[in-house]
Structure 1
Amino acid sequence: MAQTEAPTGPTYKATIEEVGPCKKRLVIEVPEQAIQAALDEQYKTFRQEVILPGFRRGRAPRRLLEKRLGKEAQEQVKLRLIAQTSDAAIKDNKLAILNEPQVDVDSVQLPVKGPMTYQFEVEVWPEFELPPLEGIPVSKTVRQATEEQVDAELERLRRIRGVWMPRPEAEPSQLDDLLIADVQVKVEGTEQPEHLENIEVHIRPQGTVAQVPVPNLDEYLVGLKPGQSVDISVDVPKTYFKQEYRGKKVQVHLDAKEIKYLRPADVDKAFLDRFGAQSVEELRQMLKEAVQSELERQTRQEMEDQIYQYLLDKTNFDLPLDLVADQAASALQRIYVRLLSQGLSPQEIEGHMEALRASSEEQAKRQVKTFFVIDKVCEKLGIEVSDEEVNGLVAQIAWRRGQRPERLKEQMARDGTLGQFRLEVRQAKCIDKLLEMAKVTEVAPKQKGNKKKGQRQGQSASDKAQ
């Protein structure tokens, strides 16, 4: 316990306790002498500002001011002392806080005699040491586009521009079908379920039903026919983005009404015109170039992922669950901005966001940990982002989306994504710098059949070709 006096504030004593990872409790004691000094100053202000019957301004006696304005004086002094001493305690103890202190002022009493005591909790930035940043080992995979990859891209384009067709009623649903259903959602602790009609549900291994994340969703829905029902029980992770579902058991009842399958588009003249190609051969050449560009982007992403993994493996600190949950929404916004910067429309991004919303608690923890580690690396390397850099990148995004840069920037400022965008730019500069400093070794691609690990969600090769 240390007694501290701020240069321009009242004397106080502060006791700091560790109450959890990244969380501290501050117990503040303001001595009687500081309280009386503050009251004297408050009544001096009242005497100069308040006119009481029978007395000239500045001549009213203290006892009369206490009788008329005592409660107001005590309340103002209490609030001022709490504000001054809580701020001073944070600054004097050099606490890097994540949230502003929340004091239950109604429970704090300003005593007639003796000290005033109150307490509050704050979350603070985690403390940890960074590993060596020079010469991080990184493998660079050298890849070349193949005809099989071009075939896959062409088929993907056909599916994107395909048409959803109703399945015959006798046919059961299959993987990747679209299910139209009425849904009831019953959240633990609520009395009545929420009724939703004609909800679209994509049958995927990992997906959502009415924003409820359902692991192995395809196991419940594949084989379903119109008129059939299914009940699903889900234990929602404690860090899920939707607060009303977070950490609760949710019961989902689904009544299938219609099942649709995707019929891929024909490669006809209209299809070729969409990409500015005169023939199938020309389109395939365009796609091959786009695939090669995507492979190079993938290689770059894998190199970046190795940097991230190195930093995460070499740092160790705890994150409280509430911090992870609070930061999950910000992580979603950063991913949204990244996809916007890659030129995707909000409608295209929604498909990626659904997968992100259904992600595990471990992924959310990883995202939050990455944020803190990258911030510390940026601080150590002196990496900052200027307004000119932000304006230039916003202009590029606006050009790809056919918008005016100033209008897009105003929109991002209104919806809160501009600050997140700046963080994304800073993070990208940080990884660029670490790759410049890395020890890079070229390697051959892995054998076909190995999944691409850690690939960033974004545009496909053919999206970039359009």
Structure 2
Amino acid sequence: MKSAVETLNPTRVRLTVEVPFEELKPSLDAAYKKINQQVTVPGFRKGKIPARVIDQRFGRGSVLEEAINDALPKFYTEAVSEGELNVLGQPDVDITEFNDGQDLKFTAEVDIRPAIEIPDYSGIEVTVDALEVSDEDIDKSLEQLRERFASTSPVERAAAEGDVVVLDLEASVDGEVLEDGVAKGISYTIGSGQLLEGIDEAVIGLEAGGTATFDSELKGGSAAGKTSSVKVDVTSVQARELPELDDDFAQLASEFDTLEELRADSVKRLENMKRYDQATQAQEKVLDALLELVEVPMPEKLLADEIQTRKHNLEHHQFPAMGLDWDSYLEREGKTAEEHDAELGAQATKGIKTQFILDELVSKEQLSVNQEELTEHLMRRAASSGMSPDQFAQAVVEGGQVPMLVGEVARGKALAVVVEAAKVTDTNGETVDLDDEVEDEGAVTVEAGSDEETATEVEDAAEATSDKA
């Protein structure tokens, strides 16, 4: 086999491949064997039909077609390996010349990972929010804790904002009550925004036994997206009472004996949260600065596929759950289709560019992923997915998501290297020491390389994760 590589642009090549006819013999033999198992010819046992009979009865062309379909992937892979190409996605293959007994000639155009030069990134400087916990932050945190321990008691008066009302709902569309539009005994806090739009205005001012009707667009169910006439009956009005902010409350809501101790713990928790936010902000700003430094040619087909994937996920996975279609989604976002497509394109471009740069850094810095790092990442991903660690690990291995997971960890480590080299100061001009705050969060998930060793390592990590669980 002979192959040649022609560079069409920095992200796409054309392979020209010539295969001597004799190298097709294994695929021809396999084609005859396959056809033998699929057809019957009177006078011959199944699987024992001579090749000449198959040629006569079914045509030599069908055999050659089957053989080429079998052989092309193998010869294409050999040509990619010979050319030392890092290909992306599937090739566009064109058979340029082939006759029985003669050489097979074909071309394959395919996107490749562009060559990237990583410049010196040690000069990156970013500014993040200062780590400051105000009295207002502390008061808000304690107020939220009081809300969690609020009690309710029935009152004989009209409902007001902040009250808890018990409701019966009945939704109708075009005068017909929906089968899934009836609900009874729903407890709702007025002003929380957790039910239908317009319900607050409808129930405020009603006493127990009161009834009102209002129009609202349904967000889910059989009539999602349609405007419904909703009848609401108030069966109970309850006032919410917050506990006093004192030592008794501290003992009720925490392991502390005094309000002073609870307040001090709130300060510590808020500082930790803001420190994590600070690290995340630094990570994002350093990444943006790195993207500005590096020129990355963009593979057009890869970008188009990524945009299409994102649109498909929106339309077929997120829209049904939210009761939306494209028109209602764009209306909610306040964007035109053109504006949304431009935004989606920019997001996809940034995602692919980020992956290319961080993968190049993984190679440049010779970063690797060990089993412990992989296990820790599995545990975090499992927690965010709502699955148990062993279930998530098993799903990753069975779903062939090993390369993606390894890539996430490696790219996270690469970004951490850049963040560590950057100068990070806060808005007060103080140098920020991020220590171990920067982890492998948020690495871009675009396909990465894989091998058997990595797969085995992930399987070991999966077992380790199950043991920890």
TM-score w.r.t. structure 1 length?
0.55
Are the aligned partners of 1:130 and 1:315 in contact in 2 as well (CA < 8 Å)?
A: yes
Among 253, 258, 276, the residue aligned to 2:226? 253
Are the aligned partners of 1:181 and 1:254 in contact in 2 as well (CA < 8 Å)?
A: no
Equivalent residue of 1:98, what SS? Answer: strand
Are the aligned partners of 2:116 and 2:360 in contact in 1 as well (CA < 8 Å)?
A: no
Q: Do residues 377 (structure 1) and 361 (structure 2) align?
A: yes
- 1:309 maps to which residue? 288
Q: Do residues 322 (structure 1) and 305 (structure 2) align?
A: yes
Separation in 2, partners of 1:12, 1:381: 33
After superposition, the Cα gap between the structure-2 partners of 1:445 and 1:326, relative to the gap in structure 1 and judged at 3 Å, is: farther
Among 250, 273, 276, the residue aligned to 2:255? 276
After superposition, the Cα gap between the structure-2 partners of 1:33 and 1:61, relative to the gap in structure 1 and judged at 3 Å, is: same
For 1:390, the aligned partner's letter is: L
For 1:382, the aligned partner's letter is: Q
**For residues 407-446 of structure 1, what are the structure 2 equivalents within 5 Å?**
409-410=393-394, 413=397, 420-441=404-425, 443-444=427-428
Among 243, 258, 268, the residue aligned to 1:289? 268
After superposition, the Cα gap between the structure-2 partners of 1:77 and 1:409, relative to the gap in structure 1 and judged at 3 Å, is: closer
- 1:337 maps to which residue? none
- 2:118 maps to which residue? 130
After superposition, the Cα gap between the structure-2 partners of 1:424 and 1:457, relative to the gap in structure 1 and judged at 3 Å, is: closer
Higher normalized contact order (CA 8 Å, seq sep 6+, divided by chain length): 1
- 1:84 maps to which residue? 74
Equivalent residue of 2:226, what SS? Answer: strand
**For residues 164-183 of structure 1, what are the structure 2 equivalents within 5 Å?**
none
**For residues 89-238 of structure 1, what are the structure 2 equivalents within 5 Å?**
89-101=79-91, 111-112=99-100, 122-139=110-127, 142-158=130-146, 225=202, 227-229=213-215
After superposition, the Cα gap between the structure-2 partners of 1:163 and 1:13, relative to the gap in structure 1 and judged at 3 Å, is: farther
Are the aligned partners of 1:150 and 1:287 in contact in 2 as well (CA < 8 Å)?
A: yes
For 1:322, the aligned partner's letter is: D
Separation in 2, partners of 1:292, 1:328: 39
Equivalent residue of 1:95, what SS? Answer: coil
Q: Deviations over 1:13-35 (max 9, x none)?
A: 776756xx95x475766567468
- 1:189 maps to which residue? none
After superposition, the Cα gap between the structure-2 partners of 1:404 and 1:83, relative to the gap in structure 1 and judged at 3 Å, is: closer
How far apart are residue 77 of structure 1 and its match?
1.4
**For residues 327-346 of structure 1, what are the structure 2 equivalents within 5 Å?**
none
RMSD: 6.3
Equivalent residue of 2:85, what SS? Answer: coil
For 1:321, the aligned partner's letter is: A
After superposition, the Cα gap between the structure-2 partners of 1:416 and 1:272, relative to the gap in structure 1 and judged at 3 Å, is: farther
How far apart are residue 143 of structure 1 and its match?
2.5
How far apart are residue 291 of structure 1 and its match?
0.9
Percent of paired sites with the same residue: 18
- 1:343 maps to which residue? none
After superposition, the Cα gap between the structure-2 partners of 1:160 and 1:445, relative to the gap in structure 1 and judged at 3 Å, is: farther
Separation in 1, partners of 2:194, 2:386: 32
For 1:380, the aligned partner's letter is: K
After superposition, the Cα gap between the structure-2 partners of 1:169 and 1:35, relative to the gap in structure 1 and judged at 3 Å, is: farther
Separation in 1, partners of 2:253, 2:360: 46
Separation in 1, partners of 2:109, 2:380: 43
How many residues are paired up? 369
Equivalent residue of 1:99, what SS? Answer: strand
For 1:307, the aligned partner's letter is: V
How far apart are residue 370 of structure 1 and its match?
2.3
Are the aligned partners of 1:159 and 1:263 in contact in 2 as well (CA < 8 Å)?
A: no
Equivalent residue of 1:129, what SS? Answer: coil
TM-score w.r.t. structure 2 length?
0.55
**Which protein shows a greater Rg?**
2
How far apart are residue 404 of structure 1 and its match?
8.0
For 2:353, the aligned partner's letter is: K
Separation in 1, partners of 2:101, 2:241: 82
Separation in 2, partners of 1:308, 1:279: 44
How far apart are residue 127 of structure 1 and its match?
4.2
Q: Deviations over 1:186-232 (max 9, x none)?
A: xxxxxxxxx985899xx99xx9999xxxxxxxxx9798757444679
How far apart are residue 288 of structure 1 and its match?
0.7
